[in-house]
Structure 1
Amino acid sequence: MLLQGKVVIVSGIGPGLGQELAVEAARQGAAVAMCARTPAKLDEAEREILALGLDTPILKVATDISDREQCKALVAQTIARFGRIDVLFNSAYNPGSFEPIEVANLDSWRAAMDVNLFGTMALTLEVVPHMKAQGGGAIVMINTMVTRKPLQTQGGYGASKAALASATSHLALELGQYNIRVNSAYMGWMWGPSVEGYLQMNTDAGGPSVADQRAAVAKNIPLGDIPDDADCAKAAIFLGCDYACAITGAALDVNGGEYLPH
């Protein structure tokens, strides 16, 4: 088990990657503290974890990470319950509104920034002192392929995540001396509730079938299909485990090869 005996926090619990991160962390032996704005999403993730039959210690804290005080409360409750924090998976995000930049709703951009940059940093900065005191830890930022391969109508989301990417590099540089690793997983298309819902929305609006849309996306992916969100979660789990002990400041592309750096 890659996270045996570790304590992890996973933000952004909900159908899709956030829940898959929490479930996979539990499967790999971690005690799991989970946060989301909606308690029902935490309850669903808890049911999925308990179904593993591993007696995983679980903490659920309803949290809006754009509120620094709520981040502080989440971290305090995690320390009170488990005594340490070994890994933080920053998965919470706000996609903003999808439209061309020339007609962008900048209020939507600010809302995305409040979560994707400032909220993520608020939670991270609450965790860092505890990792320093215990001699190290790992922080994993969930970023997006959109910052590397722009997609139509996602400029606001991409801008917020690009800002996070820069902050992450600086954090890796500053925190390395404390044995705190800071890495990013850049997710592309992920087959799960969010993408399925998006494709179904297009179909309902008179577009191609979900199957045809999926096939069109898959044509650009060397591995031949949209990766499952559970498999994408495994890549992030790797960055948080001790097998990645020599890695910090890295940007791991998790997209089936759709974006190929050169």
Structure 2
Amino acid sequence: MARLHNMKALITGGNGGIGKTTAETFLREGADVALVGTNEETLQQTKDELKELGNVLTISADVSNENNVARYVQKVINSFGRIDIFFNNAGIEGKVAPITEQSVEDFDKVMGVNVRGMFLGLKHIMPHMTNQGGGSIVNMSSSAVMTTASSVSPYISSKYGIVGLTKTAALEGATNNIRVNSIHPSPTNTRMMRSLENGMNPGNAEAVKEGLTEAIPLNCYAETQDVANLVLFLASNESKFITASEYYIDGGMSAT
């Protein structure tokens, strides 16, 4: 039997990169999947690409806006009846610049999506999981909380905040059989990494990629499927006794 047979999953940041690959993985394992994103065109493209695999619902919403979050959660409940899995994945990289060149607006924008958006998702989904008897939540953080990096202070700060949210939510949800874990990928072959590489060394992004690759003991970036495989494990009943944990998927980078 498929590992997610008849389960209902919600993925924010679901219209590309890790979110899209995870959606495909969930569908292949028997889940119905709702995708939340900000770009209606790419959401529709993603749905068109995935719909042959199973039931796909798409919702355009701003995860940093509480009314939007309440709306997308209710739409999933109305369509699927429940939410068994929540991949709290939406995030942005922000501006690449030293702290002294980051504006308050730059900082607030990243924190709004990466931290407030994650908080709001937890706030509005956990009551439904409580009522239905449990669920699994996977929060997207980064290996950068272990290795850190310069010139991306809003991003790094936001990923530290996710660790705190994860552990708090895990403790609060445990008595209701809600498991909450965080994942921490190293550089992964996605649009976000291309943006960061270009921001760190405009005109020579390849040099940044080479340097980061050399810092990874396995000597390569992660692929989106590598990350999706971990999310699948944490979403499934195979991890039913795992909560409040941090999972690094970084090719050994955090050990260096």
Residue equivalent to 1:33: 34
Give the whole-Å Cα distance in 2 for the aligned partners of 1:216 and 1:114.
30
Residue equivalent to 1:237: 232
Residues 173-220 of structure 1, C-alpha deviations (whole Å, 9 max, x = no match): 1110000000000111001333245546778x4326x3x543332222
* 8 Å CA contact retained: 1:23, 1:48: no
Shift of 1:105: 1.6
Q: Which runs of structure 2 are paired with 1:116-135 in the superposition (5 Å)?
A: 116-135=114-133
5+ long unaligned stretches in structure 1: none
* SS of 2:33 mapped into structure 1: strand
* 8 Å CA contact retained: 2:136, 2:235: yes
Residue equivalent to 1:67: 65
Shift of 1:245: 0.4
Give the whole-Å Cα distance in 2 for the aligned partners of 1:106 and 1:147.
21
* 8 Å CA contact retained: 2:64, 2:116: yes
Residue equivalent to 2:243: 248
C-alpha change, 1:178 and 1:65, in structure 2 (3 Å) is: same
Residue equivalent to 1:14: 15
C-alpha change, 1:202 and 1:153, in structure 2 (3 Å) is: closer
- 1:257 pairs with 2:252: yes
* 8 Å CA contact retained: 2:93, 2:196: no
Give the whole-Å Cα distance in 1 for the aligned partners of 2:108 and 2:200.
26
Residues 157-176 of structure 1, C-alpha deviations (whole Å, 9 max, x = no match): 11112112112111111110
Give the whole-Å Cα distance in 2 for the aligned partners of 1:151 and 1:2.
37
2:110 to 112, 115, 129: 112
* 8 Å CA contact retained: 2:93, 2:192: no
* 8 Å CA contact retained: 2:122, 2:169: no
Deviates more, 1:177-186 or 1:236-245: 236-245
* 8 Å CA contact retained: 2:8, 2:33: yes
Give the whole-Å Cα distance in 2 for the aligned partners of 1:222 and 1:2.
31
C-alpha change, 1:31 and 1:186, in structure 2 (3 Å) is: same
Residue equivalent to 1:152: 150
Superposition TM-score, scaled by structure 1 size: 0.91
Give the whole-Å Cα distance in 1 for the aligned partners of 2:146 and 2:208.
22
Superposition TM-score, scaled by structure 2 size: 0.93
Give the whole-Å Cα distance in 2 for the aligned partners of 1:165 and 1:201.
26
- 1:206 pairs with 2:207: no
* SS of 1:148 mapped into structure 2: helix
Equivalent position amino acid for 1:28 in 2:
E
* SS of 1:99 mapped into structure 2: coil
Equivalent position amino acid for 1:9 in 2:
L
Shift of 1:44: 2.2
* 8 Å CA contact retained: 1:182, 1:248: yes
Residue equivalent to 2:101: 103
Residue equivalent to 1:85: 83
Q: Which runs of structure 2 are paired with 1:172-211 in the superposition (5 Å)?
A: 172-196=170-194, 198-199=196-197, 205-207=202-204, 210=206
Give the whole-Å Cα distance in 2 for the aligned partners of 1:145 and 1:105.
25
